[in-house]
Amino acid sequence: MAELTVDDLHLAYGDNPILKGVSMTLDRGEVVSLLGPSGSGKTTLLRAVAGLEQPHRGTIRIGDKPVFDGAARTDIPAEGRNLGLVFQSYALWPHKTVFENIAYGLKLRRIGGAEVGERVRHVLEQLSLAPLAERYPHQLSGGQQQRVALGRALVYNPPVILLDEPLSNLDAKLREEARAWLRELIVRMQLSALCVTHDQSEALAMSDRILLLNNGRIEQQGTPEEMYGNPLTLFTADFMGSNNRLAGRVAEIRDGAARLDGEGFALWGLARPSARIGADGTAMIRLERIRLADGPGDNRVEASLTTSMYLGDKWEHLFALGPARLRAYGDRPLAAGAHWLHLPRESLWVF
């Protein structure tokens, strides 16, 4: 059974439409990430589910209970939806201890003191916060504050946890560690979570399913593997991962493959639904899929090295192919001049 169902949701600020008919589900024990560029509507969708924004059309159901129905004029306020919400800023009470911050929501619900203590202690143990129970927020690291905010959302066992950029305030190294810890916690506790993020690596690592929003609509949705490895549109392919693009004209389509001809190249790749013979086209390939080659061959191009960058575990090389620029990884520095690059057919998408 779906813990959360959104159907044909529309929301506008004045004359500016933000959500343009978004539909989605979140199943029990599932993590769904809302991904997309700034202004795509992902945070607005999360806030509408939370009851912090009012749509003007569509429905939102938590389990089998409607919390918003535009036609029936149903709109249950945020405090009546029983959802856990973790804000981007954490929003901890500075004058309350860790214990008091986590217990606050239970006291608002008039839970008895003994039960409050039991529930809070259980959450503190789950999140490895028990030794910090009497500290104040300013005495905690960013990662510890993030765990307190999560504990406050979890303590009353909500059916759905809403996470708004939960790791964005952490530095890069701590962010990677917190991402792994948060995913482990979600799986262990069988949480149903809807997460907003602008970080595609975060979405790929944490999610069971990704919804990519573009201009208020869902561009594509699927598992992380589907979104990264089988993009159906140019927008999806370009947004996910680090990519190389080549512009040209679609010269031929045969058996699901398309040939793109451009300045200095003629390459075969997988034909995407938008590819049309004789039309302008774009070839897209992930940066890590290009291989350095030792000479000419099938689906290879000769390009001039313009610069190389040392990344620690590998080199990143930048090549010029006519007006286009191609990037490729290698395990060693390269001499100046022309080099052959292999673009595997199965990894090149033609739109």
| Distance separating alpha carbons of residues 262 and 279, to the nearest angstrom | 12
Identify whether residues 41 and 188 lie together within a single domain.
yes
What is the predicted pLDDT for the residue at 122? 87
pLDDT one-digit tens code per residue, 231-269: 999 999 999 999 999 999 999 999 999 999 999 999 999
User: pTM for this structure?
Assistant: 0.85
Measured torsion, CA atoms of residues 114, 119, 124, 126, in degrees rounded to the nearest 10: 150
211 shares a domain with 335: no
Q: CB of 240 within 8 A of CB of 227? A: yes
Domain that holds residue 128: 2-229
Asked whether residue 199 falls in the same domain as residue 304, the answer is: no
The DSSP string of 18-81 is EEEEEEEEEETT-EEEEE-STTSSHHHHHHHHHTSS--SEEEEEETTEEEEETTTTEE--GGGS
Q: Are 239 and 200 in contact (CB under 8 A)?
A: yes
Please indicate, yes or no, whether residues 144 and 43 belong to a single structural domain of this protein. Answer: yes
Number of domains present in the structure of the chain: 2
User: 20 lies in a domain?
Assistant: yes
Task: Clarify whether residues 16 and 164 are in a common domain.
Answer: yes
173 and 291 part of one domain: no
Same domain assignment for residues 67 and 156:
yes
Domain check: are 324 and 186 in the same one? no
38 lies in the same domain as 164: yes
The one-character DSSP state at 223 is -
Mean pLDDT in residue range 268-291: 96
For 85-133, how does the pLDDT look when each residue is reduced to its tens digit (9 = 90+)?
A: 888 777 888 999 999 999 887 877 777 778 888 888 888 888 888 999 9
Cβ neighbours around 162 below 10 Å, total: 23
Residue 344: give its domain's CATH number.
Answer: 2.40.50.140
| 199: Cβ contacts below 8 Å, ≥ 6 apart | 167, 168
C-alpha radius of gyration, the chain, whole number: 24
Same domain, 210 and 334: no
